């Protein structure tokens, strides 16, 4: 009896293990379990560095009634009413949503429509429109001047040649200046970012989606 | 006696067969376990030069020239385009600092994707250096944040957004834990990685309190059309499987005087980058005039990445013009 026990033969087991290993390596079932993300669809325009608005140049040209003209081409002829600016025929698309700043002539010069008004007779051209904003938004303008508000492009050296600082009107519509909402670019599609909050992961999380699809046997 | 002899010869034949079977099935298992080697392409093992290359800090000028030429050849072989690869050194009198205005950021993720386009990260599986956290107003609790938000439009009502990337800490835990000094801090304050030296142990990834480091678990999925040929040795040259990578303040741009890609793409101007040693730079002025804070100050990492709010906070509800519904998820 004792002898028999000594002779228990485990080699078939080892062979079985080896064969199992072989099949495992050949079948390679782990390969497809890695949840690869598809490549996110982001076009060149999505990450363009162009400002969100194009501004007017000096003199300001607009495309109205089929022609390109500057403001004075018309306003030389049409005299403005003295009191309430009226807009029955032109510029009807312009809706002011600028807080209590609700008068066209707070900003546009009455006598010379190709210029913006600062104070009294003092006016600035359209390519210096930040001076206009400065008269009411002093602190923001000061920040902008120091490169703290708004965006500078080119170099991190403060006064390097070729730096461009975006103007206020390249980000804010002067008539309705609140910054617009936009559609966000695709969310990350990876598990390899050291999840900060798996516990709070939303349904959008690829981890959640992967777990869900796995339990449904869809994978 | 004959019985036992018989038995003996039987047994030896059997044991011969047995051990033969054992050995051959063992060989089979061993051979199939090497199967991944079949997938190797001729260039996959790298060449001997990269293998015996020294640590970046110990390389001479000519060693670096040689390494750059080798990398250029590698890239050309892999992506059929000749990169413009350089080894830009830290500039004198420059220490880079980043500042981010949380009352401007709207969470549009343009920085995330501009970074990916600039820095030759793997597209699939996705590797991104910047993570934008969406957080409810009135909290700084990162546990309550979500970086998978998917909304029709941002910013969502009563949320704010906090982009996180490598903070280039002065007291960097990742540098301390690296067993082979494959990651270290340079004079302009940027923590860099020698991708040829990294052994992929991921200690640094575990040590980073800002989850800023990313690991290449697979061969990076980068295709020819996505390659940015403007490369730098310690920053955005293509990586390989098994190495760590992270944000490096776009050294290939910033050491050439330009701004980081994430800064230039930000549509709101929330991101500010500059030299703190220059008192006229925007970041110096921000540090002087705004109330800045750093993330996880209590872990004493001394980040070079500052956050601040403007006076007006929380922001007024954004214009409803493009936001029929706030995309509330």
pLDDT computed for residue A87 by the predictor: 64
pLDDT on residue B110: 95
User: What pLDDT is stored for residue A188 in this prediction?
Assistant: 85
- Taking the CA of residue B229 and the nearest CA in chain A, the distance in Å comes to 16
B12 is a domain residue = no
Distance from first CA to last CA of chain A, Å, rounded? Answer: 52
Write down the pLDDT at residue A9. Answer: 80
Instruction: Name the token pair of B195.
Output: 């991708």
CA distances from B5 to A126, A134, B14, B52 (A): 113, 111, 14, 61
- Which chain A residue has the Cα nearest residue B212? A193
At B78, is the secondary structure helix, strand, or coil? helix
Tell me the torsion sign for CA atoms A36, A38, A43, A47: negative
Contact A45, A55 (CB under 8 A): no
Report whether the peptide linkage leading into residue B241 is cis, meaning its omega lies within 30 degrees of zero: no
Q: Is residue B46 part of a domain?
A: no
Distance CA B234, CA B119 (A): 11
Q: Which residues of A touch B126 (CB under 8 A)?
A: 37, 39-40, 188-190
Those of residues 4-23 in A touching chain B at CB distance below 8 A are 9, 11, 14-15, 18-19, 21-22
Model confidence over A78-95: pLDDT tens digits?
777 666 666 667 788 888
User: Which position has the token pair 């010069």?
Assistant: A109
Minimal Cα–Cα distance from A75 to chain B, Å?
A: 30
| Average of per-residue pLDDT across A34-59 | 82
CB–CB of B303/B167 below 8 Å? yes
Q: Does residue B255 have a cis peptide bond before it, meaning omega lies within 30 degrees of 0?
A: no
Question: What is the pLDDT of chain A when averaged over all its residues?
Answer: 80
Do the Cβ atoms of A22 and B269 come within 8 Å? no
Q: How confident is the model at residue A5 (pLDDT cuts 50, 70, 90)?
A: low
A143 neighbors A149 (Cβ within 8 angstroms)? yes
Q: How far, in Å, CA of B3 to CA of B203, rounded?
A: 65
What's the whole-model pTM score? 0.85
Out of B32, B110, B257, closest to residue A185 by CB: B110
ipTM over 0.85: no
Nearest to B257 among A34, A146, A155 (CB): A155
Strands B96-101 and B84-86: unpaired
Q: Does B150 reach chain A within 8 Å, measured CB to CB? A: yes
Q: What is the Cα B93 distance to its own chain's centre?
A: 27
A125-149 pLDDT tens trace? 999 999 999 999 998 999 999 999 9
With CB atoms and an 8 Å threshold, state whether B113 touches A39.
no
- Euclidean distance between CA atoms B85 and B76, whole angstroms: 11
Which pLDDT score, from 0 to 100, does residue B313 have? Answer: 42
CA distance A118 to chain B (A): 26
- Specify the number of domains making up chain B: 1
The reply to whether B72 falls in a domain is no
Q: Chain A closest CA to B144's CA: distance in Å?
A: 7
Residue-level pLDDT, tens digit, chain B, 329 residues: 445 455 556 678 878 888 888 898 888 888 888 877 777 766 566 667 777 788 999 999 999 999 999 999 989 988 999 999 999 999 999 999 999 999 899 999 999 999 999 999 998 888 999 999 999 988 888 877 888 888 999 899 889 999 999 999 999 999 999 999 999 999 999 999 999 999 999 999 999 999 999 999 888 889 899 999 999 999 999 998 899 999 999 999 999 999 999 999 999 999 999 999 999 999 999 999 999 999 999 999 999 999 998 876 444 554 444 433 333 32
Domain with residue B317: its CATH number is 3.30.70.20
Q: Which residue has the higher pLDDT, A160 or B87?
A: B87
Contact between B107 and B149 under an 8 Å Cβ cutoff? The reply is yes
Residue B131's domain comprises 96-321
3-state class (DSSP) for residue B230? strand
Examine residue B78 and state whether it is found in any structural domain, yes or no: no
Integer-rounded Cα Rg, in Å, for chain B is 27
Inter-chain residue contact B131 with A188, CB threshold 8 Å: yes
Asked whether residue B247 is domain-assigned, the answer is: yes
Sign of CA dihedral B321, B101, A43, A211: negative
B112 in reach of chain A (CB within 8 A): yes
CA A92 vs CA A76, A86, A106, B191, B226: distances in Å: 19, 10, 18, 56, 45
B197 in contact with chain A, both atoms CB, cutoff 8 A: no
Residue B230 sits at the chain A interface (C-beta within 8 Å) = no
* Closest CA–CA distance from residue A52 to any residue of chain B (Å): 7
Q: Which of B33, B99, B126 to mutate to test the interface with A (most CBs of A within 10 A)?
A: B126
Name which of A93, A184, A182, A91 is nearest B321 in CA terms. A182
Which residues on neighbouring strands pair with residue B98, listed in sequence order? B273, B305
Q: How many CB atoms sit inside 10 A of residue A130's CB?
A: 20
Which residues of A34-86 form beta strands (DSSP E)? 61-64, 67-70
Domain assignment present for residue B178? The answer is: yes
Whether residue B244 contacts residue A193, with contact meaning beta carbons closer than 8 Å, is answered with no
Write down the pLDDT at residue B43: 59
Question: What is the C-alpha separation between A23 and A44, in angstroms, rounded?
Answer: 46
Q: Do A37 and B144 touch (CB under 8 A)?
A: no
B96: nearest CA in chain A?
A156
Strands B96-101 and B305-308: parallel
Tell me whether A188 touches chain B (CB under 8 Å).
Answer: yes
In whole angstroms, what is the distance from residue B317 CA to residue B323 CA?
11
Cα–Cα distance measured from residue B232 to residue B215, given in angstroms and rounded to the nearest whole number: 19
pLDDT in tens, A54-75: 998 888 888 877 788 888 888 8
Task: Suggest the residue from A151, A163, A166, A202 to mutate for an interface test with chain B (most B CBs closer than 10 A).
Answer: A151
Residue B91 lies in a domain: no
Residue B247 is predicted with a pLDDT of 96
pLDDT value for B294: 95
Token pair 């892999």 in the structure block, residue: B78
Asked if pLDDT for residue A4 goes beyond 80, the answer is no
Q: Is residue B316 part of a domain?
A: yes
Nearest-CB residue to A49 (from B125, B264, B321): B264
Question: Nearest residue of A to residue B131 by CA position?
Answer: A188
Q: CA nearest A150 in B: which residue?
A: B269
pLDDT bracket for residue A117 (50, 70, 90): very high
**Of all residues in chain A, what percent are helix, strand and coil, respectively (each to 5)?**
30, 10, 55
Beta bridge partners of A164: A153
CB–CB of B22 and A15 under 8 A?
yes
- Maximum average pLDDT range among A15-24, A183-192, B310-319: A15-24
């Amino acid at each position: 009896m004792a002898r028999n026990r000594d002779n228990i033969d485990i080699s078939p087991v080892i062979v079985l293990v080896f064969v199992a290993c072989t099949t495992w390596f050949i079948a390679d079932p782990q390969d497809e379990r890695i949840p690869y993300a598809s490549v996110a669809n982001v076009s060149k325009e999505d990450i363009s560095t162009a400002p969100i608005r194009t501004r007017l140049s000096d003199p300001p040209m607009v495309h109205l009634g089929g022609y390109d003209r500057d403001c004075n081409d018309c306003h030389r002829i049409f005299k403005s009413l003295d009191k309430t600016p009226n807009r029955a025929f032109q510029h009807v698309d312009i809706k002011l949503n600028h807080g209590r700043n609700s008068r066209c002539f707070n900003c546009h010069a009455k006598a010379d429509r190709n210029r913006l008004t600062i104070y009294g007779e003092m006016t600035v051209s359209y390519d210096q429109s930040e001076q206009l904003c400065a008269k009411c938004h002093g602190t923001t303008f000061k920040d902008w001047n120091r490169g703290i508000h708004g965006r500078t492009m080119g170099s991190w050296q403060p006064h390097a040649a070729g730096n461009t600082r975006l103007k206020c009107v390249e980000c804010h519509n002067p008539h309705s200046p609140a910054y617009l909402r936009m559609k966000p670019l695709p969310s990350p599609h990876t598990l390899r970012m050291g999840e900060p909050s798996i516990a709070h992961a939303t349904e959008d999380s690829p981890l959640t989606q992967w777990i869900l699809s796995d339990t449904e046997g869809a994978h | 006696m004959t019985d036992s002899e018989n038995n003996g010869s039987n047994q030896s034949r059997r044991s011969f067969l047995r051990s033969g079977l054992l050995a051959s099935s063992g060989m089979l298992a061993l051979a199939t376990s090497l199967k991944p080697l079949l997938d190797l392409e001729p260039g996959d093992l790298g060449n001997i030069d990269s293998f015996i290359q020294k640590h970046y800090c110990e390389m001479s000028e000519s060693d670096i020239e040689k390494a750059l030429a080798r990398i250029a050849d590698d890239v050309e072989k892999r992506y059929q385009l000749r990169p413009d690869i350089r080894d830009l050194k830290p500039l004198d009198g420059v220490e880079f600092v980043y500042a981010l205005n949380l009352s401007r950021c709207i969470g549009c993720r343009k920085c995330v994707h501009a970074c990916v386009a600039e820095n030759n990260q793997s597209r699939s599986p996705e590797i991104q250096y910047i993570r934008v956290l969406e957080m409810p107003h009135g909290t700084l609790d990162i546990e309550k944040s979500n970086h998978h938000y998917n909304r029709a439009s941002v910013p969502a009502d009563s949320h704010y957004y906090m982009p996180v990337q490598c903070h280039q800490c002065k007291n960097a835990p990742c540098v301390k834990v690296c067993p082979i000094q494959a990651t270290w801090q340079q004079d302009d304050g940027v923590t860099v990685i020698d991708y040829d030296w990294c052994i992929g142990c991921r200690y640094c990834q575990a040590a980073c309190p800002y989850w800023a480091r990313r690991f290449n678990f697979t061969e990076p999925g980068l295709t020819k059309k996505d390659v940015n040929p403007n490369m730098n040795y310690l920053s955005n040259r293509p990586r390989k499987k098994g190495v760590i990578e992270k944000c490096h303040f776009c050294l290939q741009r910033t050491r050439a005087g330009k701004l980081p890609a994430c800064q230039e793409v930000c549509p709101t101007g929330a991101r500010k980058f500059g030299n703190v040693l220059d008192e006229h730079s925007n970041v110096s002025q921000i540090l002087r005039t705004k109330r800045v804070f750093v993330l996880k100050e209590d872990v004493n990492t001394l980040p070079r990445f500052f956050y601040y709010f403007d006076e007006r906070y929380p922001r007024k509800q954004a214009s409803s013009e493009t936001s029929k519904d706030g995309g509330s998820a």
